[in-house]
Amino acid sequence: MHEVIGVLGAGSWGTALAVHSARAGRRVRLWCRREELARELVAEGANHRYLPDVALPAEVEPTAEIGQLAGCATVLVVVPSHGFREVVRRFLATLDSVDGPTLVSSTKGVDSETLERMSQVTAAEAERAGRQVDFAVISGPTFAAELAAGVPSAAVVASAKPGVARRLQESMSTDSFRLYRSDDVVGVELGGAAKNVIAIAAGVATGLGLGHNTLAALITRGLHEMVRLGVASGGQAQTFSGLAGLGDLVLTCTGGLSRNRRTGIELAAGKSLEEIQGATSMVAEGIRNSASITRLAGRLGIELPITEQMMGIIAGDTSPQEAIHALMTRALKAEAEL
C-alpha cells in the first residue's frame, strides 16, 4: 500500500506539494480550511482558485475534516504564518497517541505576536497538547506553478534530527524536485521569512524604473541583512549562500510569479495596501513579515535598513522615493560589517 501523507493547506503551494507527492507515488490527504473549497476541488479535479490549469491526480483526496490527516506519518503544514499556530493546534488535538507524526513546515514567516519561528510555534503547541512530534522545514527557490508543472526545481529540507531530514530528502526527491538536507533549522526558516521583505523592496525598485544597478545592489545588501538576522538568531552564515537564502532571494526578487515582488511594484505605482490586498486571495507574506522582522531585529539589537524602509512604505509613513533616498544616504561603512 502506498504511504499516505497529509498536507495542511490548499493554497497554491500546498496544492503544488500535494500534486508533487502524488506523482512521487503517494496518496495525499489535502486539507482545505473551507468546506466550499474542498467540494470545488473534488468536483472540478483542480484548484482553480489557487493553482489554475493543474489537474489534481486521483491520489490527492481533498477534505475539510482535519482529523482525516491524523493517521498520516508525515504532514506538511503549508499555511500563512499568521494561521500556522491555530492549524497546528487543531491538528494536534485530533491525535489519539502521544507519539505524533513528523510535521514539515513550508511556511515562510515569523509569528506576528510572539516573533517565534514556525519550529518554535510547533514545539510550544506540541508541549501544550502533550504530543511528541518531529519537525522539519522545507524552503527554497520554488514557485508553486512551476513545481506542479514538473519544472526541475531544488530546495532544502532541514531538521535538528539528521535522520528525519534524510528520510524526507529520500522520500520527497524526484527527477524534477531535488532536495538537499541541512541541520540549520534557524537559518532555513529565517531565510524564507526575511527574503519576502527584500522582494517587496525589489518590486518597489522595479516599479520605480530604477534599473539593474539598483536591483543588484538591493539583492546583495538584502542578503547581507538576511545573514545578519540569521546569525544573530543562532543560524549558520553559510546557509544563506545556498538555496534557502540566496537562491530563494534571487527568485523572489526577479521572478514574475512572485507575489511579494508584485506587491512592491503596486506600492511604487501609488496603490494603497488595502487596494493591493483586496484584489487577490493570495497572501504576500512580506507584508506581515516587515513588521515582525523589524521587531525581531530590535529585540536582537541589530539594524536591517532595507526591512525598516519597507515597513515604512507598507505602513504609509514613507514614500518609495523617500525610502530609496534614505538608503542611499546612510552613513558609509565597510562592506563586510555586520
Instruction: Give catalytic residue positions.
Output: 195
Residues 2, 316: Cα–Cα separation, whole Å: 51
The 3 state secondary structure assigned to the chain is CCCEEEEECCCHHHHHHHHHHHHCCCEEEEECCCHHHHHHHHHHCEECCCEEEEECCCCEEEECCHHHHCCCCEEEECCCHHHHHHHHHHHHCCCCCCEEEEEEECCCCCCCCCCCCHHHHHHHHHHHHCCEEEEEEEECCCCHHHHHCCCCEEEEEECCCHHHHHHHHHHHCCCCEEEEEECCHHHHHHHHHHHHHHHHHHHHHHHCCCHHHHHHHHHHHHHHHHHHHHHHCCCCHHHHHCHHHHHHHHHHHHCCCCHHHHHHHHHHCCCCHHHHHHCCCCCCHHHHHHHHHHHHHHHHCCCCHHHHHHHHHHHCCCCHHHHHHHHHCCCCCCCCCC
What are the residues whose beta carbons fall under 8 Å from the beta carbon of 138, sequence distance 6 or more?
A: 76, 104, 105, 106, 155, 156, 157, 158, 168, 172, 179
Place of cell 493546534: 89
For 289, half-sphere exposure in the C-beta direction (CA atoms, 13 angstrom radius) is 29
